[in-house]
Amino acid sequence: MRKTLLASSPAARYAAGAAIGAGGVWCFAPFELYWLAPLVWLGFFQLLRAASTTRQAALAGLAFGLGFFLTGVSWVYVSLSVFGGMPWWLAGLAAFLFCAVMALFPMLAGALFKRWQPAEFWRQALYFAVLISAADWLRSWIFTGFPWLAVGYSQAPPSPLAGFAPLLGVHGLSLLVALSGALLVRWRFGLVFLAGLTAAGFGLRQIAWTTPDGEPISVALVQGNIPQEMKFEPAAFVHTLELYLDLVAQHPAQLTILPETAFPAFFDQLPTDYIEALKDTVRSRGGDLIAGTLSGDGERYWNSAISLGTSPLQSYSKTHLVPFGEVIPPGFSWFLDLAHIPLSAFTRGPKGQPPLAVAGRQVAINICYEDVFGEEIIGALPQAGILANLSNTAWFGHSLAQPQHLQIARMRAAETGRPMLRATNTGMTAIITADGSLQAVLAPFTTGVLHGSVRAYRGMTPYGTWGNRPFLVCLSLLLLISQFRRKY
């Protein structure tokens, strides 16, 4: 493969890079060809090795990144054009520029690889893996972070490598995947390494890092399937409230969860008799309800979740907001005039909010995009025994966003050793077990309620205790090893 790439023109290599990047999306949900991931990053490794200059390696990384992100997060265009009302050409340009910014991370990795490329193959492989995983980690926090499609997500359950998630988290998995791919250049050794890694991951999957705490509780996760174009329309408001009340009444459970902004209005402006009807319904069976709504104090407003029922009234407000969707950076107020996104100036909720005490359990709430950030999720541990995500991905239509988001949630469960309950407007509403396996899932774009039972868990995984620190230590050590030059 490398000889072919060396013989080809730079333009052909850039085209190959874009194609390899686009093919990388097949490693993730909904395709979940996790075994393909080492081969994809093998291809990228070979592209960088074949580059003659730092500039060529940087452009190869940019081409790979453009192919990867333009294919994998094409749903950005859907949210801006179809539901945001932005002209198609401007939405296309905005989506392209967003993907181009994301492609700067593999571009940087490519440039750094060629600039300080070690002479020995083994150190090249280590250095490549360090750069790929470091780029993913950097992307997870810079400019508030966008870690979507980090390489390690391709190894969420059912991949046997998911066994490493409770130890090293998603970025540690990125490191292992990139290293496996690079070592496949020496295919016999690479296959042995990958087989050993797979066996180790399978063995780690058998370890119960956390243990059940208490008896199972019944849950009902409501999927309203309210079209995004109707969600904030006054004419649909009464229908929305009636739909959720009917679904709650028809599907009793100890814990009922409604999606993000299920009540598309400020909570204190909802009809009093409606709130009392919901309370009476869930109290009559000794249960609790968590629902997404809006809260405010007259000057500021929050994307919130509130609890109603047997337990006292409690709330959680989203802390990690989506740039351009929930918070507009300074100087971009013109974006609101073009995108027509309602409620795009939320206030961040306070840090360190406690889990909600509902149905006799401690439930840590995260809203939509927040479950993409593993180190923020573990902030609720060890108090929380259950994780719950309330989402509205109707903004992204029939796209890859929903299955990709479900895959991300499965990684959070595997990292923390906690079950994850997902209540979404249009999908994917699901119950995820403490090891990241899917217990049950509703078909997307249907109105329904997912029933099941779930147990709280106690104890801590290594990742739950240390977060990304073990990964960063490994990253630093491998970087030193890759750049160490023996002197004779």
Mean pLDDT of 52-61: 96
Residue 487: per-residue pLDDT: 47
Q: Residue 260 catalytic?
A: yes
Which of the listed ranges 267-271, 320-324, 484-488 does the model predict with the highest average pLDDT? 267-271
Residue 7: per-residue pLDDT: 53
pLDDT tier, 484 (very low <50, low <70, confident <90, very high otherwise) = confident
pLDDT tier, 85 (very low <50, low <70, confident <90, very high otherwise) = confident
Residue 183: per-residue pLDDT: 98
Average model confidence (pLDDT) across the chain: 93
298 vs 482, residue with greater confidence: 482
Residue 82: per-residue pLDDT: 78
pLDDT tier, 114 (very low <50, low <70, confident <90, very high otherwise) = very high
Compute, in degrees rounded to 10, the torsion defined by CA atoms 450, 454, 459, 464: 0
Mean pLDDT of 40-61: 97
Q: CB-hemisphere CA count at 13 Å for 335?
A: 19
Give me the catalytic one of 318, 326, 370, 474. 318
Give me the catalytic one of 260, 326, 370, 415. 260
pLDDT tier, 473 (very low <50, low <70, confident <90, very high otherwise) = very high
- Domains defined along the chain, listed by start: 2-207+468-483 (no CATH), 212-460 (3.60.110.10)
Residue 306: per-residue pLDDT: 97
- Maximal C-alpha separation, the chain: 84
Residue 255: per-residue pLDDT: 98
Mean pLDDT of 76-99: 87
Q: CB-hemisphere CA count at 13 Å for 18?
A: 13
Checking if the pLDDT of 2 tops 60, the result is no
Checking if the pLDDT of 330 tops 90, the result is no
Mean pLDDT of 130-156: 96
**DSSP β-ladder status, 438-441 and 430-432:** antiparallel
Checking if the pLDDT of 186 tops 70, the result is yes
Minimum mean pLDDT among 278-282, 318-322, 337-341: which range?
337-341
Residue 335: per-residue pLDDT: 56
Q: CA distances (Å), 205 to each of 21, 369, 433, in order?
A: 29, 27, 13
Residue 166: per-residue pLDDT: 98
pLDDT above 70 covers a percentage of the chain that reads: 94
Mean pLDDT of 460-480: 97
pLDDT tier, 351 (very low <50, low <70, confident <90, very high otherwise) = very high
Q: Residue 368 catalytic?
A: yes
Checking if the pLDDT of 336 tops 60, the result is no
pLDDT tier, 78 (very low <50, low <70, confident <90, very high otherwise) = confident
Give me the catalytic one of 99, 368, 370, 474. 368
Rounded Cα gap, residues 220 and 230, in angstroms? 24
Mean pLDDT of 322-326: 77
Checking if the pLDDT of 68 tops 50, the result is yes
Tens of pLDDT, residues 228-259: 777 777 778 999 999 999 999 999 999 999 99
What order of strands is seen across the sheet that includes strand 255-257?
314-317, 301-309, 288-296, 255-257, 211-223, 448-458
pLDDT above 90 covers a percentage of the chain that reads: 82
Checking if the pLDDT of 374 tops 50, the result is yes
Closest of 113, 125, 106 to residue 194, by C-alpha:
125
